[in-house]
Amino acid sequence: MQFVGGVTLAESLQHVAALTMQQKCGRHILPSIAEDARPPGWESMERARANSPLAGLDWPSTVAWLGLQLAEGLDYAHHKGVVHRDVKPANILLELDGTPKLADFNVSFCGLAGRAGAAAFFGGSLAYMSPEQLEVADPSCTQRQAADLDGRSDLFSLGVVLWETLHGTRSWSASGVPDSWSSALQLERRKRQEILPPERSDLKMANQVVLRIVEVAIRQCLHIDPAQRPPSGQHLAQQFSLALHPRAAQHLFPEYGAVLTTTRYLPSSLVLATAALLPNLAVAIFNFLYNSTQIVSVYPDLWPRFFRVAVAVNATLFPIGIVICLLLIRRYTQQIRPAGSEDSPKRTKFTGTATPRYWRLGHHIALVSGSLWLIAGLAFPIFLSAAQRSFEARHALHFFRHSSCVAE
């Protein structure tokens, strides 16, 4: 296999075990590699460390970066039909620049029995197993077979690894030392039924949004029900990719509030349509009241005609705008969903130099609204001039100019 001149993630975490999350950062990973690196890594050590992406990352971003690499590695293996079944810090090798490498896939091929029996083979891995994998390893359970395990079991184990990396402790810590492997297995199975510790609100990080995204992604991996976990490693990798771009993440994951917390659970099309409709509706009401008092009041006989034109124009243009915007929202939301779909060839990533096409949705909705306002600005003076020959050109220009300002 490829020579990796660094250390395991387990060894690296020991070097930062005494530090808090606020104190730790990505560059703390590199000295641990330097201290334990083995030849021939020494010659390229300084060059690798200088080019390491970890050097400028805080700890939540470091966990996101490691999670991104590992999730993509698992996704590749799963697409090849291989389930790792033993994802743990000791089986993750770190290159000189901190890049993680998944190792020890032999469990995938020898099954639960292995070469020396399940007890010997799984002795150090129980703490990272998914509930369904523990069930397979338990001789007293016959409802599930090893062949039933899929990639979501690996994602659970990765979630345990990343939780330990982020918080410094495992998500479920067993107290005491079991007297046998069977007792340890039963203890771990019971532990999986416990509720995860709540999110800590006392942590103050520079990029708080990154910590929230990483927490959400890891907790999703740790769902007891496999159906509630990320559907694929690529889906999970995209969540971590977003966490590595805080400016983009800030728009998609704003600070929690009563309104935002509620809207998170509403259909995206409803939220977007409402956000586009309400401002236009408010401006239309203001526009009607303003024009009726400032212009139409000069022509007392024009009021009934103005009212009918206003009703006709709004009753025509608003439905047209709503339909077009809903079609745009549907088109763009369909572009977003396949990015995390297991059977989709699309693999969208957030980068610092390119803006995904679906981020232009707001600009396109604004363009539609502005165009309809310009049409309304032409319709009003045309119809009012036809009804009132004394309607002055300056008032007609006022209607159009006012609608143009709204469009801008």
Domains of the chain plus CATH, in order, are 7-253 (1.10.510.10), 262-407 (no CATH)
Q: What is the pLDDT of residue 206?
A: 60
pLDDT at 346: 41
Q: What is the pLDDT of residue 119?
A: 42
The pLDDT assigned to 350 comes to 41
Kindly state the tokens that stand for 80: 């090849």
Residue 47's H or E segment, with its range, is helix 45-50
Half-sphere exposure of 46 (CA within 13 A, CB side): 1
- Using a pLDDT cut of 70, give the percent of the chain over it: 70
- Residues 278-331: pLDDT tens digits? 888 888 888 788 777 777 777 777 778 878 888 888 888 888 888 888 888 777
How far apart (Å, rounded) are the C-alpha atoms in residues 113 and 235? 31
Task: Give the mean model confidence (pLDDT) for residues 154-173.
Answer: 90
Tokens 């992604």 belong to 217
Beta sheet of 92-94, edge-to-edge order: 7-8, 92-94, 100-102
Helix, strand or coil for residue 53?
helix
**270-290: string of b/e by CB count within 10 Å (b at 16+)?**
eebbeebbeebeeebeebbee
Q: What is the pLDDT of residues 335-369, one digit of tens each?
A: 554 443 444 434 444 443 334 555 677 788 888 88
366, 369, 374, 379: CA torsion to nearest 10: 180
Q: What does the CA dihedral 26, 27, 28, 31 come to, rounded to 10 degrees?
A: 140
The angle subtended at Cα 263 by Cα 257 and Cα 269, nearest 5°, is 150
Reading the block at residue 400, the tokens are 């159009």
Q: The tokens 């993509």 sit on which residue?
A: 72
- Please say whether the beta carbons of 28 and 19 come within 8 A: yes
Longest dimension (CA), the chain: 100
Kindly tell me if the per-residue pLDDT of 131 is higher than 50: yes
Residue 214 in tokens: 């990483």
pLDDT band at 104 (very low <50, low <70, confident <90, very high): confident
Across the range 379-402, mean pLDDT stands at 73
Tokens matching residue 264:
């998170």
- Give dist(CA 325, CA 278) in Å, integer: 13
Average pLDDT over residues 185-212: 76
Lowest mean pLDDT among 18-27, 176-185, 240-249: 176-185
Tokens at 380, concatenated: 């009003």
The token pair that represents 327 in the structure block = 């079609």
Distances (CA, A) of 145 to 132, 139, 216, 273: 9, 11, 30, 47
Question: Which residue has better confidence, 126 or 262?
Answer: 126
Question: Is it the case that residue 127 has pLDDT exceeding 60?
Answer: yes
Distance of alpha carbon 335 from alpha carbon 361, whole angstroms: 11
φ/ψ (deg, to 5) at 92? -115, 110
Distance of CA 401 to the CA centre of its chain: 43
Task: State which amino acid sits at residue 46.
Answer: E
379 versus 407: the higher-pLDDT residue is 379
- Looking at per-residue pLDDT, the higher value among 158 and 364 belongs to 158
Instruction: Quick: pLDDT tens for 182-195.
Output: 777 788 888 888 87
Report pLDDT for 347: 40
What DSSP line would sit under 292-347, residue for residue? Answer: HHHTGGGSGGGHHHHHHHHHHHHHHHHHHHHHHHHHHHHHHHHHHGGGG-TT-S--
Q: Quickly state the pLDDT bin for 26 (edges 50, 70, 90).
A: confident
- Reported confidence tier of residue 101, pLDDT bands at 50, 70, 90: very high
* Residues 188 and 108: beta-carbon distance below 8 Å: no
Q: ∠ CA 103-108-111 to the nearest 5 degrees?
A: 135
pLDDT score for 383 = 78
pLDDT for residue 121: 42
Question: What digits encode the pLDDT tens for the residues 224-269?
Answer: 999 999 999 999 999 999 888 877 777 666 665 545 555 555 666 6
Model pLDDT for residues 68-96, shown as the tens digit of each residue: 999 999 999 999 988 998 899 999 998 88
Measure CA 181 to chain center.
Answer: 38
Give the three-class secondary structure for 92. strand
Which position has the higher pLDDT, 28 or 59? Answer: 59
Q: Span 198-222, mean pLDDT?
A: 81
The highest-confidence range among 199-213, 297-311, 388-402, by mean pLDDT, is 297-311
Structure confidence at residue 406 (pLDDT): 59
Task: Name the pTM for this structure.
Answer: 0.62
Mean pLDDT, rounded, of the chain: 76
